[in-house]
Amino acid sequence: MKKILVLGGTGFVGRHVCEKLTQLQWRVTVPTRQESNARNIQMLPSLDVFEANVHDEAVLTRLVAGHDAVVNLIAILHGTKTAFDKVHVELPQKLARACAATGVRRVVHVSALGADMRNPDIAPSMYLRSKGHGEVALHHAALDLTVLRPSVMFGADDKFLNVFAHLQKIFPVVPLAASHALFQPVWVEDVASAIVHCLKDEHLHATADQTFDACGPGIFTLRQLVEMAGRLSGINQGRGRPVIALPAALGRLQARLMEFAPGEPLMSRDNLASMTQPNIASGNLPGLQAMGITPAALEAVAPAYLGPGSGGWGLRSNLTLKRKSAGRS
């Protein structure tokens, strides 16, 4: 039985990864700042939850010890340069040292589409620059490393299409910055399957670049995604709300104002900077198909959790939405 440490196991992707790993009857360890964060996974068989601060290097080293592999899913979308560096750069550096100290070599690291370890500082946003530097830290370590770079992810409990649908339930119109930004959304189940595939295939790290783009089959503008969320949710009799594309200056002002709102902002200026770079497959790296995964189409999966009778908004933790939702057995 393999023993896997999943950093970020209580998050959106992590919950799906943990479910798949326990289905293989592998032992899974999930550290979390508060045990209550793990309520959606703690009943899974062969899974252990520990309250721990993984940013404490001594604690992280003790957690890594005794495992066959580590999956790193920890990430943030908003913050200062200091916050991005702490999560995306310093944590991978600490993980590399923890692995060296304990003799654990196999690491699967989830980065982001648009990150570039060869020239991390040319990326347009703090988020992408920090993601690139995090990859550098792990590639420079003596690890059996595989890196996945997913596009924006969707699924039953996402904070992506669900948010767009919720906004249209509240507001009569949607003023939208960066409406022409391009995305190639990928189903969270497909990303989770890719992570498990990496752990099962012990030789996958030996591929030429060790890095994979994780994208779905379709490319959409942000405007198209917002409009689709409205239609599928049945808002305005299935027409969705009118979307008003904002000029760049107004979009930056909107994002700046959102940064001052309490809680996690819906949009930040750094998000806008990231969206100046198309969030689509580079064409230079292998994709999910190289792992034998045929990525699900957004149009096939999203109606199952956005459509009438699905429960609508609520960030449902529906871990039973499988490939059958996409019309596949």
The predicted-structure confidence for 18-58, as pLDDT tens digits, reads as follows 999 999 999 999 999 999 999 999 999 999 999 999 999 99
Q: Are 192 and 311 contained in the same domain?
A: no
Instruction: Report how far residue 40's alpha carbon sits from residue 53's, in angstroms, rounded to the nearest whole number.
Output: 20
Residues 303 and 242 in one domain: yes
Q: How confident is the model at residue 313 (pLDDT cuts 50, 70, 90)?
A: very low
Do residue 39 and residue 134 come from a single domain?
yes
Indicate the pLDDT class of residue 329, thresholds 50, 70 and 90: very low
pLDDT for res 209: 56
Residue-wise pLDDT tens digits, 282-309: 899 999 999 999 999 999 999 999 987 6
Percent of the chain with pLDDT over 90: 86
Residue with tokens 């119109």: 173
199 and 94 housed in the same domain: yes
- Is 37 buried (19+), middle (13-18) or exposed (0-12) by CB count in 10 A? middle
Select from 198, 214, 230 the last residue of a domain. 214
**Does residue 241 sit within a domain?**
yes
| CB atoms closer than 10 angstroms to residue 186 | 30
Residues 241 and 255 reside in one and the same domain? yes
Per-residue confidence (pLDDT) for residue 204, from 0 to 100: 62
Are the CB atoms for 276 and 128 separated by under 8 Å?
A: no
Residue 321 has pLDDT above 70, yes or no: no
Whether the CB-CB separation of 151 and 184 falls below 8 Å is answered with yes
Question: In the predicted model, what is the mean pLDDT of residues 100-113?
Answer: 97
Cα(23)–Cα(17) distance, integer angstroms:
10
Question: Does residue 178 share a domain with residue 118?
Answer: no
pLDDT at position 324? 42
What's the domain range around 301? 161-183+217-280+295-323
Note the pLDDT tens digit of each residue in 205-263: 544 458 999 999 999 999 999 999 999 999 999 999 999 999 999 999 999 999 988 88
Predicted local confidence at residue 265, as pLDDT:
87
79 shares its domain with 20: yes
Residue 290 within a domain: no
Clarify whether residues 205 and 299 are in a common domain: no
- What CATH number does residue 62 fall under? 3.40.50.720
Please check the confidence at residue 314 and state whether its pLDDT lies above 80: no
pLDDT single digits (tens) 153-203: 999 989 999 999 999 999 999 999 999 999 999 999 999 999 999 999 866
Residue 129 and residue 123 in contact, taking contact as beta carbons nearer than 8 Å: yes
The answer as to whether 287 is a domain residue is no
Q: Are residues 46 and 169 in the same domain?
A: no
Q: Kindly list the distances between the CA atom of residue 66 and the CA atoms of 30, 95, 137, 240, 253, in Å, as whole numbers in the listed order.
A: 14, 14, 22, 52, 50
Written as six digits, the tokens of 250 are 């107004």
Indicate whether 120 pLDDT > 60: yes
Across the range 73-96, mean pLDDT stands at 97
* Domain count across the chain: 2
Residue 136 inside a domain? The answer is yes
Among the candidates 214, 231, 258, a domain finishes at: 214
The answer to whether 49 and 22 have CB atoms below 8 angstroms apart is no
CB 154 within 8 A of CB 189: no
- The phi, psi pair for 109, rounded to 5°, reads -120, 125
132 and 225 co-located in one domain: no
